């Protein structure tokens, strides 16, 4: 190709020359007026640009959400309560409590990236189904006070309402929120309104104003000790409020095992 022709094409492709030619062509055309309303045109272009940005953001958000959902595994989690537990309220000495036989199941979620080779690592978020949770009642069969069994007619029935939280499978730290109602009764002659207990059962240290304790982290066998301190408010029952010196604090020390079973992966 001749050098003259090449130089000519190079000059035509120069952006400044192209802009100059396009501007002249637009000015000469009677059918395409040059920017009759600059403000209106600028606003329209800006609005279109914003609309495109919004669509891009929407697509990006959907992609992130779909990725997050696809990177979640669902895990079965099982809890079993053991003997050697303690319960305490107000300034009374602790009750020796045998929670052997208690159990519950639930679901846990964990990122797939933290669950390689079917081995959990990192934090697992757990939520127990309260319909499956059973915690043995405080009774003469399960509880001793000052080394003596409780009288046969005394009974405290425990009804869990919430048990959920997180477990770090690497460090073994456990933090589970427990909300439960404790129903105190004396045979069939007296039944008090429930005591509401809302606390965090932790493998770390739990401390209140008059009560406290330290748990033990989850080990390789799934054993742990969970401790929680909660404030107990008056229930409007003169006998119970006076007998327990409400408002006061209660303490729960629970020995348990926690195990996981993988049921689904993405």
- pLDDT for 112 equals 59
**What average pLDDT does range 64-68 have in this prediction?**
33
The residue ranges of DSSP E strands in the chain, in sequence order, are 72-81, 85-89, 95-97, 103-111, 123-128, 143-145, 148-149, 154-168, 174-186, 190-191, 195-202, 205-207, 212-214, 223-232, 248-264
Average pLDDT taken over every residue of the chain: 78
Residue 225 above 90 pLDDT? yes
Top-ranked range on mean pLDDT: pick from 18-22, 74-78, 250-254: 250-254
With beta carbons less than 8 A apart as the criterion, state whether 143 and 192 touch: no
> What is the distance between the terminal CA atoms of the chain, rounded to a whole angstrom?
60
The residue behind tokens 């130089």 is 7
Q: Round to whole Å and give the CA distance between 153 and 140.
A: 8
Query: Per the confidence metrics, is the pTM higher than 0.85?
Result: no
Kindly state the average pLDDT of the residues 146-168: 95
Query: Which residues is 182 bridged to in the sheet?
Result: 158, 195
Query: pLDDT-based confidence at 93, cuts 50/70/90?
Result: very high
Please determine, for residue 3, whether its predicted confidence score (pLDDT) is greater than 60: no
Q: Can you tell me the distance from the alpha carbon of 203 to that of 201, in angstroms, rounded to the nearest whole number?
A: 7
DSSP string spanning 212-234?
Answer: EEE-B---TTSEEEEEEEEEE--
Q: Tens digits of per-residue pLDDT, 102-137?
A: 999 999 987 655 545 556 678 899 999 999 999 999
Task: Give the distance from CA 171 to its chain's centroid.
Answer: 17
- 45 confidence band (pLDDT: 50, 70, 90): very low
Whether 132 contacts 164, CB under 8 Å: no
Query: What was the pLDDT predicted at 122?
Result: 82
Domains of the chain: 3-68 (no CATH), 72-264 (2.40.160)
Phi-psi region of 169 (alpha: psi -120 to 50; beta: other; left: phi over 0): alpha
Mean pLDDT to the nearest integer, 152-157: 95
Decide: 79 and 99 in contact? Cβ < 8 Å.
no
pLDDT of residue 263: 60
Structure tokens at 190: 């007296």
Range with top average pLDDT, 13-27, 42-56, 93-107: 93-107
- In the predicted model, is pLDDT for residue 206 greater than 80? yes
Token pair 């009642």 in the structure block, residue = 137
Q: What is the pLDDT of residue 75?
A: 85
């Amino acid at each position: 190709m001749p050098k003259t022709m090449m130089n000519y094409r190079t000059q035509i492709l120069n952006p400044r020359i192209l802009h100059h030619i396009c501007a002249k062509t637009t000015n000469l055309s009677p059918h395409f007026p040059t920017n009759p309303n600059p403000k209106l045109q600028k606003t329209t272009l800006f609005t279109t640009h914003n609309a495109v940005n919004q669509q891009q953001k929407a697509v990006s958000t959907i992609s992130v959400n779909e990725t997050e959902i696809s990177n979640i595994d669902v895990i079965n989690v099982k809890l079993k309560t053991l003997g050697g537990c303690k319960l305490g309220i107000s300034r009374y000495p602790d009750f020796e409590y045998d929670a052997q036989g208690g159990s519950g199941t639930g679901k846990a979620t964990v990122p797939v990236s933290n669950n390689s080779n079917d081995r959990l690592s990192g934090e697992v978020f757990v939520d127990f189904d309260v319909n499956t949770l059973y915690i043995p009642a405080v009774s003469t069969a399960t509880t001793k006070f000052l080394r003596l069994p409780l009288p046969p007619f005394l009974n405290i029935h425990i009804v869990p309402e919430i048990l959920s939280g997180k477990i770090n499978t690497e460090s073994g730290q456990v933090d589970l929120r427990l909300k439960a109602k404790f129903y105190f009764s004396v045979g069939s002659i007296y039944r008090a309104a429930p005591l509401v207990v809302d606390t965090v059962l932790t493998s770390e240290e739990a401390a209140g104003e008059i009560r406290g304790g330290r748990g033990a982290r989850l080990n390789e066998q799934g054993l742990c000790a969970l401790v929680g301190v909660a404030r107990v408010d008056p229930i409007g029952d003169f006998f119970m409020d006076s007998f327990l010196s409400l408002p006061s604090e209660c303490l729960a020390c629970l020995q348990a095992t926690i195990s996981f079973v993988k049921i689904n992966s993405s």
